[in-house]
Amino acid sequence: MSVTLQPIDDPAAYNAVVAAMPISSPLQSWGFGEARAVLGHRPARFLIRRNGSTVGALQLLRKRPLPGIGMLYAPRGPAVEDLSVLPELAAPLRSLARVGDVMCKIEPPQPVPAAGTEVRTPEEALADQRDVPDRIGPWVRGETEQPEHTLLVDLTRDPDDLFAGLHKMARRNVRTAERMGVTAGRDDDFESFWEIFTATNERAKLGAFPRAYYETLLRAGNAHGSQAYLVLSRHEGRALAGGFFLGIGDTTAYLYGGSIRDDRPPAEGQERRKDVKAADAFYWNAILDAREHGFRTFDFWGIPRVLDESKHSFGVFRMKLKFSTDRYWFPAYDLRLGPVAPVYTAVRRARRMVRNYRTRGTTDDIL
């Protein structure tokens, strides 16, 4: 019996399946789709059924990035029991296509291990992906929408083992932060997060969605069995670093965040305020928090595909690398739905390059 897609409109029932799948992602949670609707994407949710059993869940976004042209997209999805179901999904997905839909893109949330941490050139980066399949049945490897390269932390280890596994600089900075009175943990102060996030984006010349997107994700993502939450690192009450997390099942992902300089006047007798290592405290306590809330995997959500020191994102990578050296790939795969799919891909790539150049003076992607 072939695979079928059964529409579902019960958020809790849908999220329960996403949480139960061994290959899954927070981006397949109901709340993430609600936030994407703020951007004009149209979410649809399905149970994946085979031989009378539910073998997965699929959140599919219909995007219209060009007039009259659209794509179907499963952000870090679908959530499935195993990857053998993916080839069979092609037929029911083709039947969902409408006029103008030229391709369907999936990002199976099954991490593929990367080799080493010192990749430098594009050629070395390509070799580093030798274990990533070029295709899965009718699905051909394509460009990802979400960060393709990331670091993961195994939270099944006890806190002492986790701490011992940090880079020595991270261990020293975490202890320094504690000694200087920095505190970090879950926090409801969205305004402080927004200040940090906005300042970081402006400093690094990054893009961002409208504020309503993040507010919707925080509200809708923290319902029906998924968790959307903020972690902030504070010194003397001032939030200096923080991030936005989305979790479901055994995985939580650090989606957005950053840090700011402490611009308050220095203490009496000091020329400037000391660096209290708030960012290190944030990362470490976010890891501990995730473990305490029952997650088994912490996803740092995005490091450069090519580890090039000239890129701004390389510094962020080095910071994250102090807390995990376990690199993975999350490749995307495309299913062509119309003859203009290659043209559509080329136009999207060109538009992205122009946007990058206008924003940062380079056609290169951040990651």
For residue range 298-350, what is the model confidence (pLDDT) as tens digits? 999 988 877 667 666 777 888 899 999 999 999 999 999 988 778 778 877 88
For residue range 57-80, what is the model confidence (pLDDT) as tens digits? 999 999 887 777 889 999 999 999
For residue range 252-270, what is the model confidence (pLDDT) as tens digits? 999 999 999 888 888 777 7
CATH of the domain spanning 152-321, picked from 3.40.190.10, 3.40.630.30, 1.10.3210.10, 3.30.360.10: 3.40.630.30
CB of 194 within 8 A of CB of 230? Answer: no
Structure letter (DSSP) for residue 68: T
What pLDDT, on a 0 to 100 scale, did the predictor assign at position 315?
A: 77
CATH homologous superfamily for 4-145+330-360? Answer: Gcn5-related N-acetyltransferase (GNAT) (3.40.630.30)
For residue range 179-226, what is the model confidence (pLDDT) as tens digits? 999 999 999 999 999 999 999 998 877 889 999 999 999 999 999 999
The stretch 291-303 carries a mean pLDDT of: 96
Q: Classify residue 237 as left (phi > 0), alpha (psi -120 to 50) or beta.
A: left
Give 177-182 contacts, CB < 8 A, sequence gap 24+.
177/233, 177/276, 177/277, 177/278, 177/280, 177/281, 178/281, 180/235, 180/274, 180/276, 180/277, 181/235, 181/236, 181/276, 182/233, 182/234, 182/235, 182/240, 182/276, 182/277, 182/278, 182/281
CB proximity list for 161: less than 8 A, separation 6 or greater: none
Least confident of 44-58, 70-84, 216-230, 266-280: 266-280
Which pair of structure tokens corresponds to residue 172?
Answer: 């020293």
Q: Where are the domains of the chain?
A: 4-145+330-360, 152-321
Averaged confidence pLDDT in the chain: 91
Fold match, 4-145+330-360 / 152-321? yes
